[in-house]
Amino acid sequence: MSLPDVITMLLRIPGLLFAISVHESAHGLVAYMQGDDLPKRQGRITLNPVPHIDLFGAIALILFKFGWAKPVVTDPTKYKNPKVGMGLTALAGPVANIFSAIIFAVVLKYIYKYNLIANKYLYIMIQEAYLINLYLAIFNLLPIPPLDGSKVLFIFAPNKYVEFYYKYEIVGQIILIACIFFAPFLLSFFLEPTAFVVSNFINFIVNLLP
């Protein structure tokens, strides 16, 4: 691994800490808005990254740009509609990351347009923050347990799907971790085209700004 690669990975860390904090806080906030105060009592509705960090997930994010944080524990029995509530809570994290990616894209646009930053490392750090939020959102929307995408399906899926999910959640988790650390190219095969489409959509939005 070359020195520039090491520097780039180190410059990902601030964006990583921000991305996982926004992601998990959004989960907790939406759960709280639906009547579940468990995330708040556990201190998970915060932009402080410490309560959200999962060591292996953070390492995966730094190395591969996709990974995970410590899951927010919720109590779906507090929701008016537990199945829909779980789906909305799961969706909140990726949506928060997409909004964050848009904000970083806007910042990058005006930095480049008006030459606001001379320090190339600061520019790279912001660029990496954009990418981390983008990839964290897309990765978590994969419909593989225990990722958010598998829970978003709760909104539309029959009750049998929910039973199947909880029965085989651990299997999906094992397969997912194995792919991340031993065959990341398999995930990239699905993630890269999606990231390309979403990135182009974000660029379209940003280009509408003066």
The whole-angstrom separation of Cα 103 and Cα 18 is 13
Tens-binned pLDDT, residue by residue, of the chain (210 aa)? 676 788 888 899 999 999 999 999 999 999 999 999 999 999 999 999 999 999 888 888 888 777 788 999 999 999 999 989 999 999 999 999 999 999 999 999 999 888 888 788 999 999 999 999 999 999 999 888 889 998 898 888 887 777 777 777 888 888 888 887 787 788 888 889 999 999 999 999 999 999
The pLDDT of residue 177 is: 81
pLDDT on residue 143:
86
Q: Helix, strand, or coil here: 210? A: coil
H helix runs in the chain, sequence order = 3-33, 38-41, 55-64, 82-114, 120-140, 148-152, 159-182, 184-207
Q: How far is CA 20 from CA 117, 159, 164, 166, 168, in A?
A: 26, 30, 28, 24, 25
CB 21 within 8 A of CB 46: yes
**Structural domain boundaries in the chain:** 3-207
What is the pLDDT at residue 182? Answer: 80
Residue 155 DSSP label: G
Distance of CA 175 to CAs 59, 150, 169, Å?
17, 14, 10
Round to whole Å and give the CA distance between 70 and 52.
5
Q: What are phi and psi of 19, to 5 degrees?
A: -65, -45
- Options 24, 128, 163, 169, the catalytic residue: 24
The residues, ordered by sequence, that sit 6+ positions from 64 with a Cβ below 8 Å of its Cβ are: 180, 184, 187
Residue 106 corresponds to which tokens in the numbers above? 């806007």
* Per-residue confidence (pLDDT) for residue 1, from 0 to 100: 63
Distance CA 36, CA 116 (A): 43
Q: Which two tokens stand for residue 183?
A: 């065959």
CA distance linking residue 45 with residue 148, whole number of Å = 17
Pair 143, 79: CB distance under 8 Å: no
160 near 186, Cβ under 8 Å? no
- Tokens 């799907």 correspond to what residue? 161
128 is a catalytic site residue: no
